[in-house]
């Protein structure tokens, strides 16, 4: 508790630097990562992260100092060159983008390791700590670093806000953006520059190895909670900021724990929770939705079957025993009994000593499912020219998802038909 109070009081200047720096780095990277994710270029962040290392080393060799602004400029140059190289290779050769990313990543990173090794064996005392760009060391952030990285993070966020509409259109409909005169190539270069800036800023905290996770993971987690880009950007920034604070706090309470990897670990845990528990797109919600759909299909198939059993003598409310139901359609017995029990609770059927019978509500719902099935069969034979003996399976699937609006349109398109392709009456 004392550690918690001491940390969040922010009395210690080092705590302020590390926490604020981590929050800005994580939040700005997450916002830019949203556009990278939506452009389906998630691996680009990894390529840039590995490609900034030679720029950092060259900037140190030429300047002889670890000034964060100079190192940032060097990292930006090689990071930007790596993206231009990927685009050039993809456009001018038969090599696909994923292969180009692998080639550029390995070449640039290999050069960076060679330069870093050379610097470490040069005997220059100023090179101490330069290897933190490999794995990150957020705890080493000082006031000078914070000023530079804060400025870059603010530029990233302001640029994203100013070009929000253009970047949104680029991500979702590039062809339309071209057709209305948007400078698509310039916007792509802008997004490329923003991505490079985000990576360059973040490597100080988590290093080149983990930077791709900081760029993409918050965006991927936020994507599971919303369908709107504006909300996604805010959520990604909040997730990144929370991870930055939490990682800094863990590192403070356990000094042996590095801040950067903990930031990545926490944001990954948030992503896993999002993948599992997001209300609409999460794994659990998807399983529940699939289970609900299966239950609905079983119930409607049972009602349809009971209605069809009564069609021969137009006797829809007579009792039907389980054997006659299973004889007409091969339902698993346990599923059929569970479905019948649920339909009884819903008021669609009645239970009798010798079987089940439809209620008025059940007869109406069963009639509608039969009608939709036969309408769709007729539509497939008339408009898609399918053989009448090839349409049953498609109708079995589609009958459960046709809305009342689509039903009305089908009736109008087919001119209110009386018979289906098998010359059976459409109720």
Q: What mean pLDDT do residues 96-117 have?
A: 88
pLDDT above 70 as % of the chain: 93
Cα dist from 388 to 66, 128, 365, 392, whole Å: 77, 79, 25, 8
Least confident of 131-135, 223-227, 366-370: 131-135
Whether the Cβ atoms of residue 13 and residue 223 lie closer than 8 Å to each other: no
Query: What's the pLDDT at 1?
Result: 67
Given a cut of 60, is residue 415 above it in pLDDT? yes
pTM over 0.75: yes
Query: What's the pLDDT at 280?
Result: 85
136: left (phi over 0), alpha (psi -120 to 50) or beta: left
Q: What mean pLDDT do residues 233-256 have?
A: 86
- Architecture of the domain defined by 286-413: Orthogonal Bundle (1.10)
State in words which class domain 11-278 has: mainly alpha
Q: Is 415 exposed, middle or buried (0-12, 13-18, 19+ CB in 10 A)?
A: exposed
Stronger pLDDT, 140 or 316, i.e. the higher one: 316
Cα-flanking dihedrals φ and ψ of residue 425, to 5°?
-65, 140
Token look-up 């792509």 returns 188
Say how far apart CA 53 and CA 74 lie, in whole Å: 9
In the chain, list all ranges with CATH 1.10.3470.10: 11-278
Q: What mean pLDDT do residues 244-261 have?
A: 80
Given a cut of 60, is residue 36 above it in pLDDT? yes
Query: What's the pLDDT at 141?
Result: 62
Q: What mean pLDDT do residues 177-191 have?
A: 86
Say how far apart CA 14 and CA 359 lie, in whole Å: 74
Which tokens is 387 given?
């053989």
Q: Is 413 exposed, middle or buried (0-12, 13-18, 19+ CB in 10 A)?
A: middle
Stronger pLDDT, 232 or 13, i.e. the higher one: 232
Long-range CB pairs of 185-191 (<8 Å, 24+ gap) are 187/163, 190/159, 190/163, 191/35, 191/36, 191/39, 191/167
Confidence of residue 244 (pLDDT cuts 50, 70, 90): confident
Q: What mean pLDDT do residues 177-203 have?
A: 84
Q: What is the DSSP string of 180-234?
A: TT--HHHHHHHHHHHHHHHHHHHHHHHHHHHHHHHHHHHHHHHHTT-S-HHHHHH
In the chain, list all ranges with CATH 1.10.10.10: 286-413
Given a cut of 70, is residue 129 above it in pLDDT? no
């Amino acid at each position: 508790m004392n550690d918690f109070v001491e940390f969040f009081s922010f009395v210690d200047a080092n705590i302020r630097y590390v926490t604020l720096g981590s929050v800005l780095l994580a939040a700005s990277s997450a916002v830019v990562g949203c556009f990278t994710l939506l452009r389906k270029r998630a691996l680009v962040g990894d390529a840039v992260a590995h490609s900034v290392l030679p720029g950092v080393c060259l900037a140190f060799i030429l300047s002889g100092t670890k000034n964060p602004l100079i190192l940032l400029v060097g990292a930006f140059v090689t990071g930007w060159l790596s993206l231009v190289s990927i685009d050039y290779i993809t456009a001018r050769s038969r090599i696909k983008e994923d292969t180009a990313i692998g080639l550029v990543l390995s070449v640039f990173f290999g050069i960076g390791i060679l330069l870093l090794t050379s610097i470490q064996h040069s005997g220059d005392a100023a090179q101490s700590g330069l290897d933190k760009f490999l794995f990150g060391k957020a705890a080493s952030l000082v006031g000078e670093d914070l000023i530079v990285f804060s400025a870059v993070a603010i530029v990233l966020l302001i640029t994203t806000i100013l070009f929000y509409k253009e970047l949104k259109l680029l991500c979702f409909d590039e062809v339309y953006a071209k057709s209305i005169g948007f400078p698509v190539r310039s916007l792509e270069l802008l997004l490329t520059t923003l991505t490079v800036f985000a990576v360059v800023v973040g490597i100080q905290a988590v290093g080149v190895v983990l930077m791709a996770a900081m760029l993409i993971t918050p965006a991927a987690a936020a994507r599971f909670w919303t369908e709107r880009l504006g909300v996604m950007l805010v959520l990604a920034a909040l997730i990144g900021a929370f991870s930055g604070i939490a990682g800094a706090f863990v590192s403070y309470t356990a000094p042996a724990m590095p801040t950067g990897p903990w930031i990545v670990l926490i944001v990954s845990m948030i992503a896993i929770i999002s993948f599992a528990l997001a209300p609409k797109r999460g794994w659990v919600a998807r399983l529940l939705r699939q289970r609900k759909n299966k239950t609905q299909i079983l119930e409607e198939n049972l009602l349809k079957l009971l209605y069809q059993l009564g069609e021969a003598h137009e006797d829809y409310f007579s009792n039907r025993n389980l054997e006659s139901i299973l004889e007409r359609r091969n339902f698993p017995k346990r599923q059929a009994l569970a479905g019948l029990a649920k339909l009884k609770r819903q008021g669609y059927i009645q239970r009798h000593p010798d079987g089940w019978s439809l209620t008025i509500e059940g007869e109406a719902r069963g009639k509608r499912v039969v009608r939709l099935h036969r309408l769709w069969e007729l539509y497939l034979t008339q408009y898609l020219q399918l053989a009448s003996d090839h349409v049953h399976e498609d109708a079995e699937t589609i009958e459960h998802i046709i809305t009342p609006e689509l039903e009305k349109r089908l009736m109008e398109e087919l001119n209110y038909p009386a018979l289906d392709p098998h010359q059976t009456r459409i109720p």
